[in-house]
């Protein structure tokens, strides 16, 4: 069992590195660095292996598939299996509050509900039937979204704030991004479900991390480990420090330590992304618009190119912006 925990832990680290590489490769200022790194690696790896990796990366990140949905459910299953198997039972023995111990399960149920809603809800596909209504939803700024622009793939007029998703092969109203974990685009009609999903997932990871850490702290306190001494390799008595406590707890509860480390890392990443997503919602921006607004040519490399000024003309205040995100039907009805 410990081997499986180690295997999945390092698999998660590798997956995180791949995702971070994909994000960095989209940043304009880092494209040159990524390109140079790719050239160096291409000289060391056989061409057949490169083609195989490219096919797999294209399948994973540029085609609709259920790989990351399955991976998402497997990871949640592993975390909650370990939590139920060890943390929950040990915390009951230490007389932790039962509502606190059951809170992760409530968050899990809510999270799975909004995960399903985010996956199956139409994000706002632009079709010949919905095109007239979507064209009236937002004003064109003639900078990022020019008037009378047409999508060459869908052969439809592009409403303001829409974008054609190459993965789903459709234009999406108020396009935010394509989420591989949902196997779906995040747009006007499902961004509210996505935000609640992200909030409950962050809260779930943070709660599991807090309960696991609280259990380990109680173990240290009840056993008076912090008052003990130990003999080092030179035969000298030493006071127990944090490093020794961590090593000792790892020997006693290796799976709980790995669980705590994993959910702590996930909590930090999810918390940062949640703050960014809420900032975009509060300022009435999408991830696509935020990225395009900052995709300015480097003045050192292209001094002759003058960046276009972009202003967020859709920002109407925090409460109105959040109302538009969480009640899009009421917003579109008001526009009509």
The set of catalytic residues is 179
- Our CA angle for 39, 41, 46, nearest 5°, is 110
Burial of residue 185, with CB atoms counted within 10 A of its CB: 0-12 exposed, 13-18 middle, 19 or more buried: buried
Q: What is d(CA 207, CA 88) in angstroms, rounded to the nearest whole number?
A: 12
Q: For residue 295, which phi and psi values (nearest 5 degrees)?
A: -85, 65
For residue 170, give the 3-state DSSP assignment. Answer: strand
Residues in the chain: 336
Q: What is d(CA 327, CA 320) in angstroms, rounded to the nearest whole number?
A: 10
Alpha-carbon torsion angle 182, 185, 188, 189, nearest 10: -50
Joined together, the tokens standing for residue 253 give 């509860």
Question: Long-range CB contacts (< 8 A, 24+ apart) of 244-248?
Answer: 245/220
Q: What is d(CA 56, CA 29) in angstroms, rounded to the nearest whole number?
A: 26
Q: What is d(CA 21, CA 16) in angstroms, rounded to the nearest whole number?
A: 8
Joined together, the tokens standing for residue 313 give 């003309």
Rg (CA), the chain: 25
DSSP-assigned beta bridge partners for residue 231:
237
Q: Are 266 and 76 in contact (CB under 8 A)?
A: no
């Amino acid at each position: 069992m410990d081997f499986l925990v180690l295997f999945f832990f390092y698999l998660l680290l590798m997956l995180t590195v791949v995702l971070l590489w994909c994000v960095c490769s989209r940043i304009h200022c880092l494209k040159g660095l990524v390109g140079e790194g790719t050239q160096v690696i291409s000289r060391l790896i056989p061409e057949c292996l490169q083609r195989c990796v490219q096919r797999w990366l294209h399948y994973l990140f540029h085609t609709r598939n259920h790989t990351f949905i399955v991976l998402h459910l497997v990871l949640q299953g592993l975390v909650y299996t370990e939590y139920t198997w060890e943390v929950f039972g040990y915390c009951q023995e230490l007389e932790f509050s039962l509502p606190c111990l059951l809170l992760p399960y409530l968050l899990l149920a809510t999270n799975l509900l909004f995960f399903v809603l985010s996956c199956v809800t139409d994000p706002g596909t632009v079709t010949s039937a919905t095109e007239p209504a979507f064209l009236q939803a937002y004003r064109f700024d003639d900078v990022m979204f020019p008037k009378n622009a047409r999508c060459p793939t869908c052969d439809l007029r592009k409403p303001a704030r829409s974008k054609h998703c190459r993965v789903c092969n459709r234009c999406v109203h108020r396009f935010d991004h394509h989420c591989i974990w949902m196997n779906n685009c995040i747009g006007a009609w499902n961004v509210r479900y996505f935000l609640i999903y992200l909030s409950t997932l962050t809260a779930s990871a943070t709660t599991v991390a807090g309960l696991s850490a609280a259990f380990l702290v109680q173990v240290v306190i009840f056993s008076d480990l912090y008052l003990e001494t130990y003999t080092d390799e030179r035969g000298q008595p030493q006071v127990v420090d944090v490093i020794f406590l961590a090593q000792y707890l790892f020997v006693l509860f290796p799976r709980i330590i790995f669980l705590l480390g994993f959910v702590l890392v996930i909590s930090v990443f999810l918390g940062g992304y949640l703050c960014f997503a809420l900032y975009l919602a509060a300022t009435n921006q999408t991830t696509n618009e935020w990225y395009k607004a900052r995709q300015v040519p480097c003045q050192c490399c292209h001094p002759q190119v003058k960046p276009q000024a972009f202003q967020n003309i859709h920002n109407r205040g925090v409460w109105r912006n959040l109302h538009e995100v969480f009640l899009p039907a009421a917003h579109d009805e008001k526009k009509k």
